[in-house]
Amino acid sequence: MQKVWLYLENGMFFEANSFGASGTSVGEIVFNTSLTGYQEIITDPSYAGQFITFTMPEIGNVGVNKDDNESSKPHCSGVIVRAYNEEYSNYRAEGSLANMLKEHNIIGICDIDTRHITKTLRESGAMMMIASTEISSKEELAKKLQASPRIEDINYIKIVSTKEAYVHKSGAWNPEKLAYNPAMMSNKKVVVLDFGVKRNILNELVESGLEVEVIPSTFSGDDLIARYEAGEIGGVFLSNGPGDPLTLTEEVAEVRKLLDKNIPIFAICLGHQMLSIAHGYDTYKLKFGQHGGNHPVANKGVVEITAQNHNYSVPDNIDEVAEITHINLFDNTIEGVKYKNKPIFSVQHHPEASPGPHESKYVFAEFADMVKESK
């Protein structure tokens, strides 16, 4: 391992070891409290532009494999862990986490006090940082960080979104030939607006009986309206994704065109936030966000355990246009809404992540039923 140096915008400076790629990387540092699923977390496109600090101290012990990736590659700025295990043991493993990070030029940082970092983020909030295996000077790192754009200055969905439309046919834990059976489909196609969609979201949409077409973030709202009115599609899904939703002015403008056309719409995470903005209710940034796999959410008196990954929330006064259906029991932020007099609903958490024991995967079936009942 080689040395790596970290500088946080609050002035904190660390020396640690690197198990990933060499180089210099800038991003926003957040922490994730999940005990398992580090590969799925690292390959979630929503982490583009962020350093992921794992509170779970031992990372790497089950290696990695191609089937557990949530996207084609990791988009995060770096990975920070207390102890990295190069020797992995799992019958599904195909390689080490270190090799995956090196392959995709992602910095891996270990042998550092992640508990101290997490407590700092809880007290001071998420912040920008820089990590380098090349620069050891605190002053030089601080200067380079100050000159770098902040996460809210970058439209990351242009980086992570697909460049060409495609059809997704695989279901959850099922290869294409088993999951995609045209005779079992609802004969209703939904279009997924890819802002950084996780693969398992697409799997769950297929499992619910929908045909799934994924299109780039450079979509046209008018084209989608025309396709719906022609009966070619039965609904639209807005995906998760990275960055500050308030930077997505062009994309939100296209979403706004869909709102009064009676098109069934379902959204998760960033898509949930974009729907709020499109209705005239701007999002706000949380102190350190919600990132983990054990967040309790109340759904009309029923407590569900959810996976979370977001730094932004929709405002409380959205109840003027939507029924609030889900509330986070950690901080009382809004986790789900259903818009009044419209076939539109959304959730902030990630029902596809299946954290157990009482989950939220039913929302995919609700969307499928809505689509099947559409014109």
DSSP structural state of residue 13: E
| 3-state secondary structure at position 167 | strand
Q: What 8-state DSSP symbol labels residue 149?
A: P
Q: Which of 85, 63, 59 is nearest to 1 (CA)?
A: 85
Return the amino acid letter for 3. K
Q: What is the DSSP string of 254-313?
A: HHHTTTTTT--EEEETHHHHHHHHHTT---EEEEEEEEEEEEEEEETTEEEEEEEEEEEE
Catalytic residues: 269, 350, 352
Verify cis geometry, omega within 30 degrees of 0, for the bond prior to 357: yes
- Please, where are the H alpha helices in the chain? 38-42, 97-103, 114-124, 138-147, 157-160, 176-179, 199-207, 221-229, 249-256, 270-278, 362-372
34 burial via Cβ count (<10 Å: 0-12, 13-18, 19+) = buried
Under DSSP, is residue 192 helix (H, G, I), strand (E, B) or coil? Answer: strand
CA angle 331, 313, 288 (to 5 degrees): 60
Question: Per the structure block, which two tokens stand in for 214?
Answer: 């994924």
209, 174 in Cβ contact below 8 A? no
Let me know: does 21 contact 108? Beta carbons within 8 Å: yes
Give the type of residue at 270.
L
| 253 HSE (CA, 13 A, CB side) | 6
Query: How far apart are alpha carbons 166 and 200 in whole angstroms?
Result: 16
CA-CA distance, 136 to 3, in Å (whole number)? 9
Q: Which residues pair with 161 in a beta bridge?
A: none
